[in-house]
Amino acid sequence: ADIGDEQSIEQSLSTFSSHMHRIREFLAESDDSTLVLMDELGVGTDPEEGAALGISILEKLQQKNAITIATTHYSQLKSYAYTTDRVENASVEFDLETLKPTYKLIMGVPGGSNAFEIALRLGIPQEIIDRARTLLSEEEIKVEDIINELNQERNRYQKLRQEMEEYRNHEKELKEKYEKMIEEQQEKHDKEMKAAREEAEAIVEETKKEARRIISDLKQKDYNQRSEVDRAQTSANQELKELSQILETENEKEREKVSAADFEVGDQVRVRSIGRKGEITALDQDKKEAQIQAGIMQVTASLADLVKVDIPEDNEEKQLKNYRVQKSQHVSPKLDLRGERYEAAQYKVDKYLDDAFLAGLNEVEIVHGKGTGALRQAVEEVLEKNSHVEDYRLGRQKEGGMGVTIVKIK
């Protein structure tokens, strides 16, 4: 390192000589593992010769791949750094208001000497400063102008960067604020809708019970008007059924709001429509669908049709298998509905199909008789909507013909 002034009268060393004495050692001993520090390179002699000598010294150290840091006030050295590869200008910021350095290192921009500004603030008359400016060479003026322009651009960039940062922070705050408001409103809406649906479902259920009670009372009071009561019961049940369907439609709309973000590959889920449990193997964000591995079955299901469960697949399969073995011992492959009323027949068919599915039956026979065809129509209405039914047909001649429906279970 060559820092400070080691001039000596006793040793006949001037400022310049003392610097050269140290630099001679650098040039002889430096290599690619050397760090060289030089303060005010080329100072203590004619500025032009000192600058030229400084450039030559830097070139030699660069050839030796020594890492070099040199300070200077010479504009020639600043220009050299601009035009030479692997050489970079840098400066320490200086506050002209306080006449103190800020100790902020600025890469890529050379520092100005600020001699005129400092002299003016320290009381040197303006006319002397103005005269001094006219004595600068064109090259020195050009370098100083470049430095000033660079500093102005840097200041402008820093100001714009600060404004942009403030804008981004403000934008981020607004975004977070509105996202929170939307989330709160959505939560409030969901709670209100859930409460409204639960209240409506309770009202429908209570209405069903009340309708059954009233109809039962009417049947007991006047047997002669039983057919009219039956028709009134059918009409009331149909209206309640339509109301239930409306509620179910609303519930389905809510379920359709489910996002792929609510599920992930590997989740254990139950598929409502088929009553099976499995593991999600793939998700489709756009279609809102998932691939489910349910035992040996590969199923594609809507996300709205899925419910997360905690039971492992192997336990669930074992439980289902054991249950089906037990169920199959009690479920007959044939259901006789002859003599049943319309609504009661539909209820029995719906429950029987659930039992047949759980028992593992592949095909069942539903006997409804020929008659007016009302029971057959009631059975077909249930079969059209039941998720366990793969297909159905009327019986062949030897199976019972029009009085029997053969159902294939999924």
Instruction: List Cα–Cα distances, 368 to 177, 334, 381, in angstroms.
Output: 64, 11, 13
Q: Give strand pairing partners of 261.
A: none
Give the span between the Cα atoms of 63 and 140, in whole angstroms. Answer: 28
Most confident of 1-5, 192-196, 205-209, 403-407: 403-407
Lowest-confidence region among 50-59, 150-159, 185-194, 256-265? 256-265
Q: What is the pTM of this model?
A: 0.36
Q: What is the pLDDT of residue 224?
A: 47
Query: What string of DSSP letters covers 62-83?
Result: HHTT-EEEE----HHHHHHHHH
pLDDT tens digits for range 282-339: 888 778 888 888 876 778 888 878 888 865 544 555 555 554 545 445 688 899 988 8
For 169, counting Cβ atoms within 10 Å of its Cβ (0-12 exposed, 13-18 middle, 19+ buried), the class is exposed
Two tokens at 160? 């714009």
Give the span between the Cα atoms of 290 and 33, in whole angstroms. Answer: 61
How far is residue 193 CA from its own chain's centroid?
A: 27
Confidence of residue 406 (pLDDT cuts 50, 70, 90): very high
Is 298 in a helix, a strand, or coil? strand
Give the span between the Cα atoms of 253 and 247, in whole angstroms. Answer: 10
pLDDT tens digits for range 215-274: 666 655 554 455 555 566 566 666 666 666 666 666 655 555 555 567 888 889 888 777
pLDDT tens digits for range 325-345: 454 456 888 999 888 888 888
Give the span between the Cα atoms of 338 and 283, in whole angstroms. Answer: 47
